[in-house]
Amino acid sequence: MSVLFAATHPERVVSLVLWGALARATAAEDYDLAPPADVFREAWMEMVAPAWGQGLSAEVFAPTMAEDPDALRWWAKMERSAASPAMAEKLSEMFMQVDVRDVLPSIRVPTLVLHRRGDRVVNIRAGRWVAERIPGARFVELPGIDHVLFSGDQDAVFDEIEEFVTGARPVVEADRVLATVLFTDIVGSTERAAEVGDRRWREVLERHHDVVRRELERHRGHEVKTTGDGFLATFDGPARGVRCACAIGDALATHGISVRAGLHTGEIEVIGEDVGGIGVHIAARVAALAGGGETLVSSTVKDLVVGSGIEFADRGAQELKGVPGEWRLFEVTSI
């Protein structure tokens, strides 16, 4: 429909974007980029029609989504909401009549043709064929196996479309800075919440949040966000970060709340009010290895606070999940 509209009413079309496109749905004597009609019909009747409404067609149209049980349930609901089995069959018959080959050369608007390399529904050669016959069309091949646009890597698709429509790729506003990243969380929070009940647990969390925020302010830390039962914060100096973590632990211990903390100093990305990057991931992994009442730091932090009077105990080389290589960690023993 978009191809026909663009060719018929070019004065009403700014640009045309085709996704997973084909010019003809079934094979013909002069077109071998689609299956024969009887093969298409047989595949539909055997593979799709009997299970319509159960979401099994996602295996073909959106295999990436099919790996997620929740997404598969959504897909099944989408099938049931979109069409009855009989209507779906009628639509497939209508689809087999599609043939816009003769229309393509008549398109005179800027056109972008996008196709995933491993598309399981429409062969990428069909998309290339379409682009070659539209004057001035741009063809972009993307990685992936999903036919539907909203499954798989969507960002790559949207970036291409945005560049085509606006003339420029989207710019992610990200500042990279050196910072000390602190993660804290309450040890055994799930068990504690179940033990004391919802109301009492809210009181515990309120007290915890008050203490952490007081110490962050006192040590000139910046609260990035809470993580439920913990905090993510940054500091412009590693020594202040270490002292703040220890002060948080000591203050909360007097309220019967055991916390663990982890710190790392490295380059991070500041995106809006949030932070990201490998430096943040390392700090999170360090914190995950700390025990109750412990503050663990990476060797980077330890080396940067030499002469501060802070003392450490060597915890040895550790592998941090998702982070290359081994990292030597140290427990803060005295500040």
What's the whole-model pTM score?
0.53
Which neighbouring-strand residues pair with 296? 262, 331
Helix H or strand E segment including 304: helix 299-304
Q: What is the largest CA-CA distance in the chain?
A: 84
Residue 63 in tokens:
């295999």
* pLDDT at residue 67, rounded to an integer: 79
The sign of the dihedral angle between the CA atoms of 43, 45, 48, 51 is negative
* pLDDT at residue 171, rounded to an integer: 66
Helix H or strand E segment including 287: helix 278-288
In angstroms, rounded to a whole number, what is the distance separating the alpha carbons of residues 85 and 79? Answer: 9
Cβ 137 vs Cβ 112: under 8 Å: yes
Cβ 238 vs Cβ 304: under 8 Å: yes
Cβ 130 vs Cβ 111: under 8 Å: no
Residue 190: exposure state from Cβ atoms within 10 A (0-12, 13-18, ≥19): exposed
* Residue 273, phi then psi, degrees to nearest 5: -95, 0
* Dihedral angle computed from the Cα positions of residues 191, 194, 198 and 202, in that order, rounded to the nearest 10 degrees: -10
In angstroms, rounded to a whole number, what is the distance separating the alpha carbons of residues 280 and 293? Answer: 21
Residues of the chain with pLDDT under 50: none
* pLDDT at residue 98, rounded to an integer: 87
Q: DSSP characters for 288-333?
A: HT--TT-EEEEHHHHHHTTTS--EEEEEEEEEPTTSSSEEEEEEEE
Q: Residues 91-127: pLDDT tens digits?
A: 888 888 889 999 999 999 999 999 999 998 899 999 9
* Residue 329, phi then psi, degrees to nearest 5: -110, 155
* pLDDT at residue 174, rounded to an integer: 58
* pLDDT at residue 281, rounded to an integer: 94
